[in-house]
């Protein structure tokens, strides 16, 4: 579970709720069924127009990824590639067949199987990069789905406010103008909170997770190419660790850079 996502959602809702209570209001004052239907129903309608039904039905899966995700351990990936490179250098690339069961990364396993089977470097790299592009495209669409909600719910919040103002002004009563204005503004409130406390931050989290997974996949591709080319494991390690921030690189490399 991604505690940062859960903590952020809980903290955001707590701060908004606390601000209402500390300000002397009540939660009941901030609930209006027509406003909820306008904002969230309108947001869903916009998503249905933007994406096919089959994709929209997978929204819950995309949402759960932001909470239940296992971010790739890039340092562990590099360490495993270097270990495999050392084995291939000492015993030959065919010896990697005996280590396939310990490889959990599906892309790394795929690349090494193709290398062991004798496929050319160009073919192996082309297949792995095609897979990388497919993953990036799939993740981008998931991010776009939640981002679309974040983009449109504030607009429907404004639409709801305009509807409320029109209804209020068409039957203007000085005694109820305050209440009418408050209800009209609720849709703008719902749209702003939903977009900025939930949907847009979740879309940004998906973007972060996507970037990290794509980086991990790029490292795997470089690693497989190095193993297939028979490079020195130390050289492979130095190449791959350039993807890491300096503080996460090995002591040997930092000393070499100095």
Query: For residue 252, what pLDDT band results from cuts at 50, 70 and 90?
Result: low
pLDDT reading at 180 higher than 80: no
| pLDDT tens by residue, 123-150 | 999 999 999 999 999 999 999 999 999 9
| pLDDT tens by residue, 35-93 | 999 999 999 999 999 999 999 998 888 988 888 888 889 999 999 999 999 999 999 89
Residue 258: the pLDDT is 44
pTM metric for this prediction: 0.84
Q: How far apart are CA 190 and CA 68, in angstroms?
A: 26
Q: How far apart are CA 163 and CA 75, in angstroms?
A: 55
Domain boundaries, the chain: 1-31, 33-252
Q: How far apart are CA 61 and CA 30, in angstroms?
A: 30
Among 101, 112, 95, smallest CA distance to 227 is for 112
Q: How far apart are CA 84 and CA 37, in angstroms?
A: 56
Residue 14: the pLDDT is 92
Average pLDDT over every residue of 196-202: 94
């Amino acid at each position: 579970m991604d505690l940062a996502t859960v903590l952020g959602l809980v903290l955001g809702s707590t701060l908004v709720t606390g601000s209402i209570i500390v300000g002397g209001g009540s939660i009941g004052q901030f609930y209006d069924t027509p406003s909820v239907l306008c904002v969230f129903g309108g947001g869903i309608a916009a998503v249905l127009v933007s994406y096919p039904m089959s994709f929209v039905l997978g929204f819950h899966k995309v949402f759960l990824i932001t909470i239940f995700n296992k971010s790739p351990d890039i340092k562990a990936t590099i360490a495993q590639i270097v270990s495999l490179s050392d084995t291939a250098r000492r015993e030959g690339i065919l010896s990697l067949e005996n280590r396939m069961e310990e490889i959990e990364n599906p892309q790394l396993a795929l690349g090494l199987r193709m290398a062991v089977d004798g496929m050319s470097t160009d073919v192996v790299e082309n297949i792995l990069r095609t897979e990388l592009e497919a993953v990036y495209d799939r993740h981008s669409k998931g991010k776009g789905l939640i981002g679309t909600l974040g983009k449109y719910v504030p607009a429907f919040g404004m639409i709801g406010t305009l509807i409320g103002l029109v209804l209020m002004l068409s039957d203007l009563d000085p005694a109820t103008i305050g209440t009418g204005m408050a209800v009209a503004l609720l849709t703008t409130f719902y749209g702003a909170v939903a977009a900025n406390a939930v949907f847009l931050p979740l879309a940004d989290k998906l973007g972060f997770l996507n970037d990290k997974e794509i980086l991990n996949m790029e490292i795997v591709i470089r690693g497989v190419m190095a193993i297939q080319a028979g490079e020195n494991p130390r050289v492979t390690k130095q190449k791959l660790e350039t993807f890491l921030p300096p503080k996460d690189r090995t002591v040997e490399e930092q000393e070499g850079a100095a």
